[in-house]
Structure 1
Amino acid sequence: MKKYIRYALLALLWGAVAAYILYAGATARSLRAGRKVSRVEIEVVDSSSAGYLVSGRMVRGWISHSGIPTSGTAVDDVPLTAIEELIAKNGFVDRVDAYVSYSGVLHIDISQRKPLLRLLTDGMDSYVTPEGYVFAAPRASSLYVPVVTGTYRPPFPASYAGPVRGHIDAGIAALDKRIAELEREKYPFYKRELQNDRNISALRRMRIKKQWWRLESSAEFDKRVDELRRHKVEMRRKYRYEARMIQEGIDRIVQRQEAERAKQKKLEKSYEDFMKLLTFVEFIEDDDFWRSEVVQIAARTTSSGALEVELVPRSGRHTILFGRIEQVERKFEKLLRFYRSGLQNIGWDAYRTIDVRYNDQVVCKK
């Protein structure tokens, strides 16, 4: 009997706890439903000494112009998803979280992207992250990162925002589709080729027998043989011409396909050069001396499509002709030795250009 009483008491206790939880939840929902947003707090959680791309003032302006209700709105009616989508559509925003606290404060936490460099080339003004994500530089941004200038043509248009690899993959996929379309253009030629081969085979099988039942004479038979020979000669000429026209048509399509494949290779090569440029800038940024010494990077695309860079140093008035982004460590080591053993004795303003493009030598011009 005592056992049943104990179970009953436990059941009543847990029932009371459950009732209290339901009551507290309902009360909290009731209080929250009547509460309104009192203020908006915006925090850029990863702003640094390098500067900022997005500020609280900018975000408030976006929300104000969008017409999304915030202050004075019931906390349950605040469109948090719409706020997050509004802010996230800016390419320089990496992540955004919007939520309303129990006290009625709308919190918006923003994580901005961390650019590695700024591209000011070929009519472009964009930031690029180390992973290869590119986005247009905001007008009100203030961020200190290396600047790449010059006539370099990156593998994406000035209006593009997003991962560069994604743009390259989309371009290659479009070219693959075009190559497949061109392959289908060969089908009519293949049908003509098959029919032409059948005609040639039929021509080879053509024979003449003497019509003995008609008492055909040898002269009449020889005449028919000559006619058949002339016919075969004429038809062979026609079929050879047809075969040549078919092959020329196929070859023209193959050439167009090869041109599309060459575009694919060019896209991949331009992407490789672009990633080399990012790695090159990272190398400079990771070295204390070169980070302070190199004040500008000028990149250009040569007539062959290769990427070459020139460096403007802080010391002296010369320009460093670095060339292609290859053997980077060796070139910088060679340049550093020349700085220490040469320019310190000769003078930092002695030369107009310092060329490190050649193996085991530094070529200077006044």
Structure 2
Amino acid sequence: MYIQWKKIIITVLDIVLAVYLFMAVTSWNSPDESGMVCSKVNISISDSNNAGFLTAGEIKRILEKARLYPLDRKMDGVNPRAIEEALKVGPFVKTAECYKTKDGHVNISITQRMPIIRIKSNSGADFYLDDNGGILPNSKYTSDLIIATGNIDNNFARFYIAPLAKAISASPLWLNQIEQINVLPDKGIELVPRVGDHIIFIGYLPQNKGSWTRKHEINLFVTKKLSRLEKFYRYGLSQAGWNKYAYIDIEFDNQIICRRRDANAERAEEQALEKEEKAGRTADRKRTEEEEREKARKEVERQETAADGPTE
């Protein structure tokens, strides 16, 4: 059998040359880290100014606890993959990326899971939900989120309350107006507004086993209900008074059922308002009388000074 030695030699030489070029380019592009020390750590957190859980200080504490914080360490001992994995373990971290630069810096980029509602159920559960229905543990977080109370288990919170809260939060009007969601024993949904001494019953959330379909139907359901409620606010309560009704039922599409407040409660509120107005008028009158007396006193002093004439 004839062996083509010339072709074999040329092929081997080509392979050796390719390996040499690869190693050369790699070594040229990789800085010598043996004597370099990390001089700066740059931590970037998405939505850090928008009601997030994480801060740069918290990221630093996580890495220090894991003995991975890179500042003042030799760059060849800094492991970006280990830093990423340590941060991803945290319940509030969505993604983590870390890389080193040629000038001795370590850059860390974090995207965090954003809470949209706090759950405080009758069973004693207390946690947050992110916009994907993920459960976030209770923490020092103090932002003014909507609170959901009542008969809520984890599944109902994740699959129904989360899309409900997301639909409410999509509108700046209702995000600022609704402060509480209450789930009744039969899973009926009540909303408690910030303005107005009443409770709003919107009915029962659509039931569907498919995740995408369920979220879509809940979003349409909530959007429709809140659109009707906005019109009622604009053309109904603005005329009748924000505190006239105790309960507003918008479950049915063709009617809005309102239950008036207790007559004694209304009378007590009217008396309180009258008392407040009377106290305000009295305070204004006293303030006016004091201003008039002070003005008269200054006028007398001015006239006495003028009568004395200039002194030498």
Q: Same fold per TM (> 0.5)?
A: yes
Q: Which runs of 5+ in 1 are unaligned?
A: 1-14, 156-269
Alpha carbons of structure 1 residues 84 and 282: separation in structure 2 relative to 1, 3 Å: same
Inter-partner Cα distance in structure 2 for 1:32 and 1:125: 48
Inter-partner Cα distance in structure 2 for 1:297 and 1:132: 16
Contact kept in structure 2, 1:335 and 1:362, CA below 8 Å: no
1:148 partner amino acid: I
Contact kept in structure 2, 1:118 and 1:126, CA below 8 Å: yes
Inter-partner Cα distance in structure 1 for 2:187 and 2:222: 14
- Note if 1:64 corresponds to 2:64: yes
Inter-partner Cα distance in structure 2 for 1:88 and 1:312: 36
1:364 partner amino acid: R
1:278-297 equivalence runs, <5 A:
278-297=162-181
2:178 partner amino acid: V
Partner of 1:355 in structure 2? 249
CA positional deviation for 1:92:
1.3
After superposition, the CA RMSD in angstroms is: 3.0
Contact kept in structure 2, 1:277 and 1:325, CA below 8 Å: no
CA positional deviation for 1:347:
1.1
Alpha carbons of structure 1 residues 78 and 347: separation in structure 2 relative to 1, 3 Å: same
Inter-partner Cα distance in structure 1 for 2:90 and 2:80: 17
Inter-partner Cα distance in structure 2 for 1:30 and 1:313: 60
Inter-partner Cα distance in structure 1 for 2:235 and 2:167: 23
Contact kept in structure 2, 1:52 and 1:142, CA below 8 Å: no
Partner of 2:239 in structure 1? 345
SS at match of 2:244: coil
CA positional deviation for 1:62:
1.4
1:132 partner amino acid: G
Partner of 1:321 in structure 2? 201
Alpha carbons of structure 1 residues 324 and 25: separation in structure 2 relative to 1, 3 Å: closer
Q: Which runs of 5+ in 2 are unaligned?
A: 1-16, 207-220, 262-312
TM-score (norm 1): 0.55
CA positional deviation for 1:119:
2.0
SS at match of 2:111: strand
Alpha carbons of structure 1 residues 123 and 34: separation in structure 2 relative to 1, 3 Å: same
SS at match of 1:33: coil
Q: After superposition, give the CA deviation of every residue in 1:259-306 in whole Å (9 maximum; x if it has no partner).
A: xxxxxxxxxxx55x7423223222222234323322222234x1xxx4
Inter-partner Cα distance in structure 2 for 1:338 and 1:100: 58
TM-score (norm 2): 0.63
Contact kept in structure 2, 1:120 and 1:147, CA below 8 Å: no
Partner of 1:152 in structure 2? 151
Q: Which has the larger radius of gyration?
A: 1
Partner of 1:91 in structure 2? 91
CA positional deviation for 1:318:
1.4
Q: After superposition, give the CA deviation of every residue in 1:100-124 in whole Å (9 maximum; x if it has no partner).
A: 1111111111111233322233433
Partner of 1:180 in structure 2? none
2:101 partner amino acid: S
1:1-366 equivalence runs, <5 A:
26=27, 29=30, 31-44=32-45, 46-47=46-47, 49-68=49-68, 70-121=70-121, 122-139=123-140, 141=141, 143-144=143-144, 146-155=145-154, 270-271=155-156, 274-300=158-184, 302=185, 306-326=186-206, 327-358=221-252, 360-366=255-261
SS at match of 2:164: helix
Inter-partner Cα distance in structure 2 for 1:22 and 1:287: 57
Query: By percentage of residues, which structure has more helix?
Result: 1
SS at match of 2:68: coil
Inter-partner Cα distance in structure 2 for 1:26 and 1:52: 41
Contact kept in structure 1, 2:88 and 2:95, CA below 8 Å: yes
CA positional deviation for 1:52:
1.9
SS at match of 1:352: strand
Moved more, 83-92 or 128-137: 128-137
Contact kept in structure 2, 1:148 and 1:299, CA below 8 Å: no
Alpha carbons of structure 1 residues 346 and 34: separation in structure 2 relative to 1, 3 Å: same
Alpha carbons of structure 1 residues 37 and 142: separation in structure 2 relative to 1, 3 Å: farther
Contact kept in structure 1, 2:97 and 2:110, CA below 8 Å: yes
CA positional deviation for 1:308:
2.3
SS at match of 1:41: strand
